[in-house]
Amino acid sequence: MRKILVTGALGQIGVELVPELRERHGADNVIASGWRRRDVGAVVDGGPFEIVDCTKPGDIAAVVETYEIGTIYHMPAFLSVLGEEKPEVAWALNLGGYANALEVARRHDCSVFFPSSIGAFGPGTPLQNTPQDTVQRPNTIYGVSKVAGELLGDYYHTRFGLDTRGLRLPGLISHVALPGGGTTDYAVHIFYEALREGRFTCFLRSDSRLDMMYMPDAVAAILDLMDADPSRLRHRNAFNVTAMSFTPEELAAEIRKHVPGFEIDYEVDPLKQAIADSWPDSMDDSAAREEWDWQPRYDLAAMTAEMIGTLRRKQGEGALGREHDITGA
């Protein structure tokens, strides 16, 4: 078997994707990489780990050649809010890094996974039941880099026959790594504050509806898409996928079922609110369901119950808040 490379393995998705890949394919067959080494247990210690700065094509090529890589999961990205603080870095990493990975993949005939996002939509996009194929004119550098990445992936497929596949992921909720500078981060931080303080101040308006997904579903979606029969794929870059759609008020009400008396108030951040307002309320993911049988397992109630249960356990062990903070990872 040709081996698997995960770039950006220390990010919010990578820290959960790598252990799952190692479980399925064997630890030595999955090479995790990040631009620097950080202490994140399983990812760094559980199998091979290499320093790879994706903005340097030579870094990716060296690892692909050394380990005879056949598949690249290309995960590094500056998220939407961080991107607005440093647009030039976000572009160089999100698009430049991906262009480097694709070029190395072309030379070595590797399959490539690319995570696009709800951020690939923007003004002009229908926000309810957002179609698979529709207007994509985002006004964040994050969104611009994601649309460009989708197009570049399709280009490498149609022009060179490269096996490129991607997902438009919604806001991701998880308890292993904290998210790093996105518009949907509130939906993670709210759980920690609910358990620590019993209250949370939200940077989005109470009625800001966005698509969301629990991390185990996101990891399953990534792996299922990469396993999908290519003859069934009419789309490649990138499939709408969603699991739930809620507002901060609705999430707070669900958390209150587990944390009685939990309170939420609002201090709206205009930049983050404008980004949220330009993103879908609920995506149509029927193409993913039809072409590779996408089916999420967690809805709002199931995700909330599991998040609270897991974080309460950590709290009991004195480990709450020791999650890997990936800001700038």
Q: Which residue is nearest to ligand SER (CB)?
A: 182
Is residue 182 part of the contact set for ligand SER (CB under 6 A)? Answer: yes
CB of 78 to ligand SER, least distance (A): 9
User: Which one-letter DSSP state was computed for residue 159?
Assistant: H
Please give the residues from 101 up to 130 whose contact with ligand SER meets the rule CB under 6 A: 117-119
Is residue 80 part of the contact set for ligand SER (CB under 6 A)? Answer: yes
Among 8, 47, 153, 171, binds ligand SER (CB under 6 A): 171
CB of 11 to ligand SER, least distance (A): 11
In angstroms, the CA 208 to CA 190 distance is: 15
The answer to whether 156 is a known catalytic residue is no
Decide if 159 contacts 95 (C-beta within 8 A): no
Decide if 189 contacts 200 (C-beta within 8 A): yes
What is the C-alpha radius of gyration for the chain, rounded to an integer number of angstroms? 19
In angstroms, the CA 291 to CA 228 distance is: 8
Rank residues 33 and 184 by Cβ distance to ligand SER and give the closer one: 184
Please give the residues from 127 up to 146 whose contact with ligand SER meets the rule CB under 6 A: 142
CB of 64 to ligand SER, least distance (A): 27
Beta strands in the chain (DSSP E): 3-7, 30-34, 49-51, 69-74, 111-117, 128-130, 164-169, 171-173, 177-178, 199-202, 210-214, 239-240, 244-246, 263-266, 282-283, 324-325
Please give the residues from 183 up to 242 whose contact with ligand SER meets the rule CB under 6 A: 183-184
Is residue 100 part of the contact set for ligand SER (CB under 6 A)? Answer: no
By CB under 6 A, name the binding residues for ligand SER: 79-80, 117-119, 142, 169, 171, 182-184
Residues forming the active site: 142
